[in-house]
């Protein structure tokens, strides 16, 4: 249903935007626009946001070609909408509309034509018509802007076709919903889940969108060189910054797809997009930009290194990235950067290459016939080099130290941004206007914005220290860049700036101390940044020694460069490894990760097998469930059960419980249990319901021996069949297990695999990792010790509501009575049932905390239960 909604929002959103442009183009005259520029721009932005939402949601569902169309059209209308707003607000004159729109429209004409061609090749008629018609609309709009006599009727006609396709799709979806899928017009059916799972999971749609953004930027910069527009101007800023924003958004998708190299590359290109837009913005204020040499020179080195390592994905991708290294060299070689012919010429080459890469990537994304891209060449070359061993590139490569994450590691990009920010601030302003020196976008975007992004990704991975560092340093780079290179420094230099820097220094002191427990590289990284903060402080109070700031900045940049190189090298090669150093200080229970027990992903059968072997050998392990994480031991290993009891420091009023994977595991003792209890178990399980039942000799069959005293109380025992495939699979392998919560007695429940080791340390022999718990609520504990009398009670109401449990029990009672009662006495039995229902049923006791205990349930009349009343 969610997939249907997202696809419908996307198609109908494109149709709505097309209808808007259809009306405007058809009703406008050369003298006056039918819809005011500002209103048109705002409406296009709203529709662009809806399309971006639909495209990203479908990207996560692997509907890749549809996502590419949605995001490309979203970027088109976002950029053009911003241009219309600038015209409406008087920033641009109506006469400048052509020069502002044509470069962007030209890029999207080609991009949508390529995507439409791929769509028709794989028989996606609806997507082909949408992409092809909007491409023709952009081409006709360029013609109409270039020649007033051409008019915009052809543009309106193309948007009319898009509206008709949307109307057809909407009618088809409505008809399919009404007929419950029995009638689906051709082209309107959605892929089933099984079909979606067979598609590639490489986030290729994000690559396609990023290539379109590179195509857009190259078109904007190459058009002045070709004479299409007179010069780079403020009207081109919306296109360039739209490209930057979309590439930043795609970075997050790349991290979700575990593709660190692509995330780093397009993070780099996003920095270029913002710098290009900043240079174009300066022209509005008649400021001539000046590009200092250090930053683009260092940027070219980073691009070159990244290109070499990207060859492991495909040779074509590595060669493509080398052109961006050449682009940075061209920027360094020409003082005016983006306004000179050298950089614009390289962008012309990038335009052609981006179009080719877009065709190859989009076609390989959806077709079973692949265009060769040189995949495997890097691997074959490394295989010939003795001493080098490539890593297996799967999702486990980016697993955090203590488990599983949905995001790849962002440290490569984070350290690279530190390199860029450090070398950017080595530039001297001199007598120039601070805004004219191209330092502000490098420091604020690279050092500030992208490091904040890396900090967010690190936080999502559960890496608190890395997240803190990238966030703190990102804020510092952004604040310092805006203050010093934003034209404010001369007015604010003094005491107030010094106080702010001292605050950052205090925070960084804590970071430096914390780095002692991680490794040498992080400690040196934090320590050298402290030296930079000292240089900022000395500069603020006017006591900076000559050359000190440049010296410490270069040192920090070199340390950051080593960290960047080490992380990208170590993530590529299994051996050798570039050293990052061991922790300088170790704490017991943490130890820097040297002696941590196995943390394996729960979604892999081999991982469950590994944990099962540990438990069979007497180990105790942390395990995810349908509620919170628990500590488990095999019942047939009494030594393990005793060990788990001692590790937990179990209180006597909170004994361990017994878990089974199926009621079939109770088959040997079935004759010792109440038939009503067995029927209740079959009806209620598997679920988050624990049942407290009378203790008996039947427990001897599980091989607990002397450890049986630690499970349950002398009178009763809690038993449960969890509604969790991982847990049941593990229990099938090792047999019934003894279970307790994975936290010291008296502490909060454990809701993440990282917390298991953090709370119990080396006492645990293994952890099955499944990220955050699906629920932060414990199980419902039902008292079944007096079930034969027709009564149940509640020690604790948890995930399963009491009303649901009572409903299940009542249904079991009804079936049980009807199966054992002579129909001739049914009226008498019904009368006795009413009398019995007027007796009392157990109600909730105060929150006792765990699976079973000695708490005495309170009593409630069944007719007071909403289930029984109904």
Kindly tell me if the per-residue pLDDT of 494 is higher than 80: no
Structural domain contains residue 395: no
Residue 490: predicted pLDDT: 58
Which residue's entry shows tokens 């025992």?
717
Structural domain contains residue 582: no
Domain end among 310, 336, 367: 367
Question: Which range has the worst mean pLDDT, 463-477, 560-574, 815-829?
Answer: 815-829
pLDDT tens digits along 332-366: 887 777 777 888 899 999 999 999 999 999 988 88
Residues 849 and 817 in one domain: yes
Residues 441 and 462 in one domain: yes
pLDDT tens digits along 288-309: 777 777 888 999 999 999 999 9
Q: Is 828 exposed, middle or buried (0-12, 13-18, 19+ CB in 10 A)?
A: exposed
Residues 231 and 188 in one domain: no
Quote the strand ranges of 734-844, DSSP E: 737-741, 766-769, 780-783, 793-796, 841-843
- By the 8 A CB rule, do 320 and 357 touch? yes
* pLDDT tier, 59 (very low <50, low <70, confident <90, very high otherwise): low
pLDDT tens digits along 3-32: 566 677 778 888 889 999 999 888 877 778
Residues 466 and 571 in one domain: yes
pLDDT tens digits along 791-824: 889 988 888 888 899 999 988 888 877 665 434 3
pLDDT tens digits along 92-108: 888 888 899 999 999 99
- Range list of H helices, 662-797: 675-684, 725-734, 753-760
Residue 195: predicted pLDDT: 43
Residues 212 and 328 in one domain: yes
Structural domain contains residue 449: yes
Task: Determine how many CB atoms are found less than 10 A away from the CB of residue 209.
Answer: 31
- By the 8 A CB rule, do 393 and 517 touch? no
- CA atoms within 13 Å, Cβ hemisphere of 757: 23
Residue 400: predicted pLDDT: 53
Residue 213: predicted pLDDT: 95
Kindly state the helix (H) or strand (E) to which residue 718 belongs, with its residue range: strand 716-720
Structural domain contains residue 470: yes
User: What token pair was written down for 148?
Assistant: 């007033």
User: What token pair was written down for 156?
Assistant: 């309106």
Q: Is the peptide bond before 312 cis (omega within 30 degrees of 0)?
A: no
pLDDT tens digits along 602-653: 888 888 999 999 999 999 999 988 888 899 999 989 999 988 888 876 555 5
Kindly tell me if the per-residue pLDDT of 835 is higher than 70: no
Residues 713 and 846 in one domain: yes
- Bridge partner list, 781: 690, 796
Question: Which range has the worst mean pLDDT, 69-83, 674-688, 698-712?
Answer: 698-712
Residues 337 and 479 in one domain: no
Q: What share of the chain is helix, strand, coil (3-state, %, to 5)?
A: 65, 5, 30
Residue 170: predicted pLDDT: 77
Residues 182 and 209 in one domain: no
Residue 498: predicted pLDDT: 82
* pLDDT tier, 160 (very low <50, low <70, confident <90, very high otherwise): very high
Structural domain contains residue 251: yes
Residue 772: predicted pLDDT: 77
Residue 125: predicted pLDDT: 84
Structural domain that includes position 544: 413-575
* pLDDT tier, 139 (very low <50, low <70, confident <90, very high otherwise): very high
Residues 563 and 430 in one domain: yes
Structural domain contains residue 443: yes
* Distance set, CA 351 to CA 231, 323, 357, 408, 839 (Å): 18, 11, 10, 30, 82
Kindly state the helix (H) or strand (E) to which residue 720 belongs, with its residue range: strand 716-720
Kindly tell me if the per-residue pLDDT of 399 is higher than 70: no
Kindly tell me if the per-residue pLDDT of 38 is higher than 90: yes
Task: Determine how many CB atoms are found less than 10 A away from the CB of residue 41.
Answer: 24
Residues 349 and 497 in one domain: no
User: What token pair was written down for 252?
Assistant: 């997050």
More confident site: 149 or 296: 296
* Distance set, CA 268 to CA 215, 275, 321 (Å): 15, 11, 11
Residues 225 and 194 in one domain: no
Structural domain contains residue 779: yes
Task: Determine how many CB atoms are found less than 10 A away from the CB of residue 579.
Answer: 11
Domain count of the chain? 4
Domain end among 575, 601, 633: 575
CA atoms 747, 751, 755, 757: torsion sign: positive
Residues 694 and 567 in one domain: no
- Bridge partner list, 313: none
Task: Determine how many CB atoms are found less than 10 A away from the CB of residue 161.
Answer: 18
- The chain-wide mean pLDDT, for the chain, equals 82
Structural domain contains residue 374: no
Kindly tell me if the per-residue pLDDT of 825 is higher than 50: no
- By the 8 A CB rule, do 92 and 107 touch? no
pLDDT tens digits along 217-236: 999 999 988 888 888 889 99
Domain end among 344, 367, 390: 367
% of the chain residues with pLDDT over 90: 32
% of the chain residues with pLDDT over 70: 85
CATH of the domain at 706: 3.90.870.10
Question: Which range has the worst mean pLDDT, 496-510, 541-555, 585-599, 697-711?
Answer: 585-599
- Report the candidate in 201, 209, 306 with the shortest Cα–Cα distance to residue 251: 209
Residue 838: predicted pLDDT: 39
């Amino acid at each position: 249903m969610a997939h249907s909604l997202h696809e419908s929002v996307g198609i109908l959103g494109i149709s709505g935007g097309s209808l808007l442009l259809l009306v405007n183009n058809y009703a406008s005259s050369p003298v006056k626009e039918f819809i005011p520029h500002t209103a048109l721009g705002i409406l296009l932005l709203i529709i662009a946001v809806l399309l971006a939402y639909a495209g990203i949601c479908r990207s996560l569902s692997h509907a890749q070609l549809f996502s590419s169309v949605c995001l490309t059209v979203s970027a088109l209308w976002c950029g053009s909408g911003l241009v219309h707003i600038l015209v409406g607000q008087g920033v641009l004159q109506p006469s400048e509309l052509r020069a502002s729109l044509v470069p962007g429209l030209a890029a999207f004409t080609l991009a949508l034509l390529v995507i439409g061609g791929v769509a028709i090749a794989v028989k996606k008629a609806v997507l082909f018509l949408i992409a092809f018609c909007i491409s023709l609309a952009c081409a006709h709009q360029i013609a109409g802007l270039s020649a007033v006599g051409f008019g915009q009727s052809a543009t309106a006609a193309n948007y009319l076709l898009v509206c008709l396709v949307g109307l057809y799709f909407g009618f088809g979806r409505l008809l399919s919903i009404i007929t419950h899928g029995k009638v689906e017009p051709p082209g309107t059916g959605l892929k089933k889940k099984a079909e979606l799972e067979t598609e590639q999971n490489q986030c290729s749609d994000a690559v396609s969108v990023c290539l379109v953004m590179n195509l857009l930027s190259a078109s904007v910069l190459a058009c002045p060189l070709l004479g299409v527009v007179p010069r780079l101007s403020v009207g081109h800023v919306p296109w360039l910054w739209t490209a930057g924003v979309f590439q930043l958004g795609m970075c997050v998708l790349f991290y979700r797809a575990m593709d660190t190299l692509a995330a780093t590359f397009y993070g780099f290109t996003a920095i270029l997009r913002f710098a290009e837009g900043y240079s174009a913005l300066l022209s509005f204020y008649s400021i001539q930009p000046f590009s200092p040499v250090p930053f683009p020179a260092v940027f070219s080195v980073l691009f070159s290194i990244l290109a070499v390592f990207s060859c492991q994905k495909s040779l074509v991708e590595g060669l493509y990235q080398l052109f961006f290294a050449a682009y940075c060299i061209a920027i360094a070689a020409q003082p005016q950067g983006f306004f000179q012919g050298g950089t614009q010429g390289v962008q012309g080459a990038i335009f052609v290459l981006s179009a080719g890469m877009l065709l190859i990537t989009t076609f390989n994304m959806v077709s079973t016939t692949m265009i060769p891209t040189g995949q495997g060449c890097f691997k074959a070359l490394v295989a010939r080099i003795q001493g080098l061993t490539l890593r297996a590139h799967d999702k486990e490569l980016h697993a955090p130290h203590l488990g599983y994450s949905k995001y790849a590691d962002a440290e490569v990009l984070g350290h690279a941004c530190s390199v860029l920010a450090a070398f950017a601030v080595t530039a001297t302003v001199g007598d120039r206007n601070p805004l004219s020196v191209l330092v502000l976008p490098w420091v604020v975007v690279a050092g500030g914005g992208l490091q904040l992004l890396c900090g967010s990704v690190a936080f999502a991975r559960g890496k608190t220290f890395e997240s803190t560092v990238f966030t703190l340093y990102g804020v510092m780079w952004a604040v310092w860049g805006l203050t010093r290179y934003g034209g404010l420094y001369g007015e604010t230099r003094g005491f107030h700036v010094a106080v702010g820097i001292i605050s950052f220094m205090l925070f960084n002191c804590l970071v430096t101390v914390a780095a002692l427990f991680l490794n040498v590289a992080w400690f040196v990284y934090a320590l050298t940044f402290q030296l930079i903060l000292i240089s900022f402080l000395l500069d603020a109070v006017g006591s900076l020694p000559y050359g000190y700031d440049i010296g410490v900045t270069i040192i920090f940049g070199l340390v950051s460069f080593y960290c960047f190189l080490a992380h990208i090298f170590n993530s590529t090669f299994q051996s050798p490894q570039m050293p990052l150093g061991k922790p300088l200080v170790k704490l017991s229970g943490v130890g820097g990760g040297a002696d941590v027990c196995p943390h394996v992903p729960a979604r892999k059968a081999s991982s469950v097998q590994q944990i099962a072997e540990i438990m069979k050998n007497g180990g105790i392990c942390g395990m995810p469930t349908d509620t919170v994480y628990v500590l488990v031991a095999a019942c047939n290993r009494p030594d393990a059960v005793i060990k788990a009891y001692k590790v937990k420091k179990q209180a006597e009023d909170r004994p361990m419980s017994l878990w089974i994977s199926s009621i079939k595991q109770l088959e040997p003792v079935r004759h010792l249990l109440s038939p009503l209890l067995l029927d209740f178990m079959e009806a209620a399980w598997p679920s988050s319901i624990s049942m407290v039942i009378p203790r008996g000799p039947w427990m001897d069959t599980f091989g607990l021996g002397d450890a049986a005293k630690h499970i349950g109380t002398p009178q009763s025992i809690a038993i449960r069949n969890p509604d969790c495939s991982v847990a049941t699979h593990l229990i099938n392998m090792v047999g019934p297990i003894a279970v307790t919560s994975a936290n010291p007695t008296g502490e909060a429940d454990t809701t993440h695999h990282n917390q298991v080791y953090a709370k119990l340390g080396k006492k645990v022999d293994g952890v099955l990792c499944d990220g955050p718990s699906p629920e932060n609520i414990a199980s419902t504990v039902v008292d079944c010790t007096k079930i034969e009398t027709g009564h149940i009670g509640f020690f604790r109401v948890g995930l399963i509501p009491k009303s649901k449990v009572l409903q299940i029990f009542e249904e079991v009672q009804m079936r049980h009575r009807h199966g054992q009662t002579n129909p001739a006495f049914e009226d008498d039995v019904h009368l006795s049932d009413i009398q019995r229902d007027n007796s009392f049923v157990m109600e909730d006791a105060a929150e006792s905390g765990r699976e079973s205990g000695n708490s005495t349930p309170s009593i409630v009349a069944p007719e007071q239960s909403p289930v029984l009343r109904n």
